[in-house]
Every structure is written in structure tokens, then in C-alpha cells.
Amino acid sequence: MPRIARDYSELKVYHTIIRGIDKQDIFLSEKDKVKFIEIIKNTKEKYNYEVYVYCLMDNHVHLVIYDKNEDISKIMQSIEISYAGYFNRKYQRTGNLFQNRFFSKRVEDREYLKNLCRYIHQNPLKVGIAKTEKYKWSSYNKYLKFNKFVDTRLILSIFSENIEEAKEEFVKFHNVNIEENKQKEINDMIEYEMYEKMTDEEVGKYICEILQINSVHEITKFNKDIRNEKLFKIKNLKNISIRQLARVIGISRKIIERL
């Protein structure tokens, strides 16, 4: 089954993650991280996108980018190919460096973007590597001083129209205890969205097993009552969105949502 084209965000803002294959480290030295950032800068010039947030951890990378020209796949593939080539040459290795396809999720609104920014910046704190403000491989400190790499305007504007007040509120927001109930709920939601998702082909096979049918397209051939009964049975499958169900089955998303 051919891959379905990615669902592009009307806002053109994406949270992307690339991970080392089998959770292996993709950065073995600080020079590797310097090289990765250099590659991002080069692809920024080539594909004309903006970096809003980033964090380089040993075995994965978070990037939030504004994709002006809807080139998200080309951007991420270019970054992965360039860095994997560098890494394999340097460490005399062969084979894949990254796990499957990169993760990407469109960012729907500014409030989510603000919380996502904090979640990403607090990654080093969460795993006990360093305090947020002390970690040199994230965009956090780029928000507190002038830089040409990270576009800080949008996220700071969420806090205040006054730049100095915005920076103060930005720091306060990042210092909130992530274990507080409300903040933990937000973090849990973001983490849930980053779980490894099944491909459309895998979802199709899974549905066939559950409903004991030979093809997902059989669902649309049943009469309305039987069709709705089967749709209701698979509507809330874990880690499968209604959007993906509708796409795989070939049925309107509104039909599933109304059940």
C-alpha cells in the first residue's frame, strides 16, 4: 500500500522528532551536536523555514519549525541524510542511524505551542541531565538574548507584547513545577501524542483482525446499522485517530464522530 501524503498544517507549524534506531545515541560528542545545528542552519537557507524551538538530546531531537513552503518531508529528510552521512563517515559505520520515519504533528494553536515549548525545553531537567537554563543544546537561552538562529517572536508574543515583560513571563512559565496536576496533564497529553503510531497498512490489518473481515473496504458495503455497529467497535482504538480510521476505511470522518 503506498504511503498517504502527510496532513499539512494550515498554520504550517510542526513539532518534529527524530530518534536513533533502537534508541541508540545519535550524538557521541559535543562536536556532533555542533554539526547537527550547522546542518539545520544550512537547510534553513535552502528550504526557507524558521526554527521556533529545539532540543538536542543524546538519542533524539525535538524541532518545532514554521514550514513556509510546505516542505516538511523534504526538510526532515535533508537533515537526516546529511547528518547520517556525517555520522557514519566519522564513526566508520554503515546502515540506518534513525528510527523509521520522523515523527511530526501539526501545532493547532498558540496555547498548545506555548506548552509544547516548555515541554521540549524541560527535557534535560526531566531526565536529570541539567536544569533547563543550564542546558546549552536547546533553544531556551535563545529566547533571552538576541540571536539569528531561532525565531522567538511568535512564542514571546503569546506572553506579552512588551518584549522585556514577555521574557520575564517566559522564564516564570518554564519554572512552573511540571508535577503540578494541571501541568502534568498537559505533559502527559503531549507525550501520548508522540507514541509510535501504526502505519495505515498496519491499521488496516488490525481492523480486519478485530472485525474478522478480509478487507477494511468491506465496512462500507454493509447496511447502515451493521456498518455503524462495526465502526463503533473500532472508534476508540488506542493510538489510532478518527482521522486515520476514516482515511484507511475510505469513509467520512463525520460519520465516525457522530457514532
> What are the tens digits of pLDDT across the range 123-141?
999 889 999 999 999 999 9
Is 5 inside any structural domain? no
Number of domains in the chain: 2
- The reply to whether 59 and 36 lie within a common domain is yes
* Domain contains 1: no
Q: 73 and 32 in one domain?
A: yes
Do 130 and 44 share a structural domain? yes
pTM check: above 0.85: no
Q: Answer whether residue 112 is part of any domain.
A: yes
One domain, residues 77 and 99: yes
Residue with C-alpha cell 501524542?
Answer: 193
Q: Are residues 189 and 220 in the same domain?
A: no
pLDDT at residue 12 in the model: 86
Range of the domain at 47: 13-193
Asked if residue 8 is part of any domain, the answer here is no
246 in the same domain as 160 = no
Rounded Cα distance, 80 and 19, in Å = 10
* Residue 249 reports pLDDT greater than 80: yes
User: Higher model confidence: residue 105 or residue 32?
Assistant: 32
Domain shared by 80 and 162, yes or no = yes
Q: All 3 cell numbers of residue 47?
A: 528550504
pLDDT digit string, tens, across residues 7-40: 444 568 999 999 998 889 999 999 999 999 999 9
Q: Are residues 122 and 98 in the same domain?
A: yes
Q: Tens of pLDDT along 72-81?
A: 889 999 999 9
Q: Is 214 in the same domain as 248?
A: yes
Strands in 50-56's sheet, in edge-to-edge order, are 50-56, 60-66, 13-19, 103-106
CATH value at residue 92: 3.30.70.1290
| CA pseudo-torsion sign 165, 170, 176, 182 | positive
In a domain, 49, yes or no: yes
Average pLDDT score, the chain: 86
Please check whether residue 6 lies inside any domain of the structure.
Answer: no
Q: Is residue 178 part of a domain?
A: yes
